[in-house]
Amino acid sequence: MLTDKEVENKLIAFICHNFMVEPDEFNYEESLVDQGVIDSIGLVEISAFMEEEFGIKVAEKDMDRNNFGSVKKMVAFIVRQSAQGNLTNRESAA
Amino acid sequence: MCGITGIFRFEGNTEDLRTRVTHMTAALAHRGPDAWGTYTSRDVALGHARLSIVDLSMGHQPMDTGEFVISYNGEVYNYIELRQELQQHGIVFATHSDTEVVIKAYQVWGKNAFERFNGQFAFILWDKNNRQLIAARDRYGVRPLFVMKWKGAWYFASEMKAFDSLPGFRREYDIQHLFEHGLLWNTIGSDTVYKGIRTVEPGTYEIYTGKADPSVHRFYSLGCLPQEPPASFDEAKEELRGMLRDAVRLRLRSDVPVGMYLSGGIDSSVLALLTSQVMGERFKSFSVTFGDPDFDESSYQNEMVSFIGSEHHAARIDYDTVSENFLDVVRHAERPLFRTAPVPLFLLSKLVRENDIKVVITGEASDEILFGYDSYKELKLLQFWARSPQSAIRPLLIKRLYPHLRHYSDTKAYGLMKLYYEDFLDTFSNPLAGLNIRIRNNTVLAAALNKELGVKFNQDDLIDKVKATFPADYEHWTLLQQNQFLEMTTLLDGYLLSSQGDRMALGHGIEGRFPFLDHRIVERTFSWPDSYKLNGFSQKHILRSAFRGLIPASIIDRPKLPYQAPDLRAFIRNGKPVPLVEQYLSPEMIREYGVFDERFTARFLRRFSERSSHQVGYRDNMTLVFLLSAQIALYWARNPRQTSLDERQRIVDITEKTAA
């Protein structure tokens, strides 16, 4: 089981690599869309990354500001989903 | 169409003034390949490169009437009516040109003349008696005019590359303006992306009397003309047909044959129909076809061609054509681009030229004035949703926004799209209206800029700056009307009419004419209820209704495609940048020019090796074209192309000996 910090580091590394920002260039407690870090396709990419990297399931009902509204909220969501066993097997997720 | 240049208050001698204005004019020879001329006096020099369209034998420029001298670029379509009116005032005309009408209208009506002009124009007029220079530009910015104050003199030109001929001058980016251009697709107000260079704003004229800054006066702003109460929808349809027909009729006034651009969409199809009705004879039409069927609209074009029976010519574009012509295209555009769509337009004007046509009717601005853009739909959706933010039903409309995009109709991705748009619920009604989404998407460019330049994005500052350009009534308009103003002052002026319009057509000496921008139509349609234009999600609703049954239904009902062009596929092949990209975005060149961040650029390019071009979105596309074109535009500013004029084509050479 990954710690919050490990999840956060992985997520931030993904965001920096894919959206060409430095870790200190965006706020982890504000919306990535609001900050101009990602566009709508960026949300699709991040949710695919969550499923592939952490093996969790992202359902339509999960897609709201509570879960996706900031890096911190995404981390909490990933950790919560993992703990609740809302996992998908990696083969079917891929 | 033509290129104009001017110098005012130069602390040099007349001969030097004449040489300078000649060099400046030479840089614009592509705009007016038929003839050229100069006027020089002690304090003022005007230059003109002419594309002859009306009164071919006379109408030479700069035109000197004794009291006034003008260098004029454009067409005032109602010049015949104005001429008659002026004759009733006892004015005598020496030519049949609209140029002389413009001078004499100013002579009689002064600054009130401008609002009488129906057309597209930019001119520099020297009023000898009052020793003042007037620089004016049409209502919507169809024709360009740039001004630079440099070393004690004012310089004027249709294109900024004319300034590059001045000894010791070099264009440099103003990074803050460059960033704003990236966010909005245009600089704000009279700014340009270059330091010290301004644009005369559309709908304004400026008066220069000496070294002090000019006084700036506005003769037009959107919504300024009083209108009768809106007609019923059926009456409005009839009115629209009549207005468009008259706008086309006026724009067919020319002493050379007029052709037309056919895109395959409803706007140009409507104009093709009206052109064929008014002209009553066969005309030439032109279009672009793409080698890649994903982008090709030729089936719709062919349908319209056979419907009106035009003599049709098509320029075929493939990926190589785009990358091969991109350097030239950016040289003409002189500013960063966001799409490669100017390339097809550049090649289209070449094809038109090869077919002995100098003037084309084209369908721009229908999307702005009749609410054809997606930004209008997005705003409507957000407005509807915001009235009941908890509603589960209202946001379902998102699925109908962009049915052609796979991730929008996919039920799972719907959740993400909802999330995306939800973020705009709090902001969409701020003064930036539909631009909020564009700005948010384009903010990525802040990270792309060289960090040492210290450019920061501050939304409040941007709002304040944009607000300063709003007409007095802005806050009383509907959200969609506000969005129209913003679309017209950003996308239309800063990109469609300039980078993709004037510069690409005049790159090959072709003049575009825009019936949808007849100010009578813009003003009248502006006054109509929003629902006439955007009905439900039916865009340009009234245009579709007004021409149903008159043009093929397949064109009226065709699904609207989003902008598509082979941008990425032209620049990235098999995950690898083509040589043009390798060169201009190389670490060495990024470092040398110092505009962009080296690390960002490297990471960004690496992104493409990791995914196919089908997997990258709007933003990556835009970012790549922006970075590449910004580098290339700066390359041209530093390495201007040497141009010269043929002395045998100099038809005007006036040097005023006395102090004028």
Helix (H) or strand (E) run with residue B197 in it:
strand B197-199
CA-atom Rg of chain B in angstroms = 24
Share of chain B above pLDDT 70, in %: 96
pLDDT higher than 50, residue A92: no
Does position B612 have pLDDT exceeding 70, yes or no?
no
B654 Cα to chain A: minimum distance (Å): 56
- ipTM tops 0.95: no
* Over residues B2-25, mean pLDDT: 91
Do the chains contact at B407 and A40, CB–CB below 8 Å?
Answer: yes
B617 contacts in chain A (CB < 8 Å): 39-42
Edge-first strand listing for the sheet containing B63-64? B63-64, B68-76, B119-127, B132-137, B204-208, B215-218
Three-class SS of residue B116?
Answer: helix
The answer to whether B417 faces chain A, any CB pair under 8 Å, is yes
Three-state SS for B193? Answer: coil
Is B17's pLDDT higher than 90?
A: yes
Give me the pLDDT at residue B400, please: 79
B420–A43 CB contact, under 8 Å: yes
Between A4 and B608, residue with greater pLDDT: A4
pLDDT of residue B637: 97
Residue B13: predicted pLDDT: 84
Encoded tokens for B320:
């190589």
How far apart CA B500 and CA B520 sit, in angstroms, is 24
Chain B's closest residue to A39, CA to CA, is: B441
**Cβ-Cβ contacts under 8 Å, B416 against chain A:** 40, 43-44, 47, 63, 68
**CA distance from start to end of chain B:** 28
Residue B234: pLDDT over 60:
yes
In this complex, which of A18, A20, A60 lies closest to B415 when CB atoms are compared? A60
Cα end-to-end span (Å), chain A: 21
What does B360-387 look like in DSSP terms, one character per residue?
EE--TTHHHHTT-SHHHHHHHHHHHHHT
Which DSSP helix (H) or strand (E) runs through B623? Answer: helix B618-638
| Peptide bond preceding B62 in cis form (omega within 30 of 0) | yes
Mean pLDDT of B69-93: 97
Position A91 scores a pLDDT of 39
Cα dist. B403→B373, B399, B422, B553 in Å?
15, 6, 18, 21
Q: Are B251 and B283 in contact (CB under 8 A)?
A: no
Query: Which pLDDT value is given to residue B57?
Result: 77
Q: Is A1 on the interface with B (CB under 8 A)?
A: no
State pLDDT tens for residues B360-388.
999 999 999 999 999 999 999 999 988 88
Superfamily of domain B233-369+487-556: HUPs (3.40.50.620)
* pLDDT, tens only, B312-364: 999 999 889 999 999 999 999 999 999 999 999 999 999 999 999 999 999 99
Instruction: Indicate whether B10 pLDDT > 90.
Output: no
Local structure of B149: helix, strand or coil: strand
> Residue B411 and residue A63: Cβ atoms within 8 Å?
no
Q: What is the mean pLDDT of residues B178-203?
A: 96
Calculate how close chain B gets to A81, using CA atoms only, in Å: 17
Inform me whether the pLDDT recorded for B565 exceeds 60: no
% helix / strand / coil in chain B, to the nearest 5? 45, 15, 35
pLDDT at B2 over 70: yes
Distance (Å) from the alpha carbon of B298 to chain A's nearest alpha carbon: 30
Min CA distance, A4 vs chain B (Å)? 23
Please indicate if any CB of chain A lies within 8 Å of the CB of B560: no
Judge whether residue B566 has pLDDT over 80: no
Which range is most confident: B134-148, B228-242, B423-437? B134-148
Phi, psi of B556 (to 5 degrees): -65, -35
Mean pLDDT of B444-469: 91
Question: Is 50 exceeded by the pLDDT of residue B210?
Answer: yes
- Of B151, B106, B114, which Cα lies nearest the Cα of B132? B106
Q: Which two tokens stand for residue B484?
A: 């129209």
Task: Kindly state whether B611 is in contact with chain A, defined as any CB-CB distance less than 8 angstroms.
Answer: no
Gyration radius (Cα) of chain A, Å: 12
In the predicted structure, residue B196 carries a pLDDT above the cut 60: yes
Segment among A44-48, B343-347, B563-567 with least mean pLDDT? B563-567
What's the CATH superfamily of A4-93? ACP-like (1.10.1200.10)
Quick: pLDDT tens for B498-557: 999 999 999 999 999 999 999 999 999 999 999 999 999 899 999 999 999 999 999 999
pLDDT tens-place string over residues B97-110: 999 999 999 999 99
Predicted local distance difference test score (pLDDT) of residue B634: 98
Token representation of residue B351:
């094809």
Reading the block at residue B353, the tokens are 């030229």
DSSP string, B432-447: TTTHHHHHHHHTHHHH
CA–CA gap between residue B218 and residue B114 (Å, rounded): 10
Q: Assign B404 a pLDDT band (cuts: 50, 70, 90).
A: low
Q: Does domain B2-220 have CATH number 3.60.20.10?
A: yes
The pLDDT, as a whole number, for residue B660 is 43
DSSP letter string over B278-298? HH-S--EEEEEEESSTTT--H
What is the helix (H) or strand (E) element at residue A91, kind and residue range? helix A90-93
- Per-residue pLDDT at A22: 84
pLDDT confidence of A93, banded at 50, 70, 90?
very low
Q: Which chain A residue has the Cα nearest residue B446?
A: A36
pLDDT at position A90 over 60: no
Q: Which of B218-227, B280-289, B432-441 has the lowest mean pLDDT?
A: B432-441
- Asked if residue A6 has pLDDT above 50, the reply is yes
Interface contact flag, A21 B413, Cβ < 8 Å? no
| Tokens of residue B379, six digits | 């705003």
Q: At what angle do helices A40-54 and B411-422 cross, to 10 degrees?
A: 120
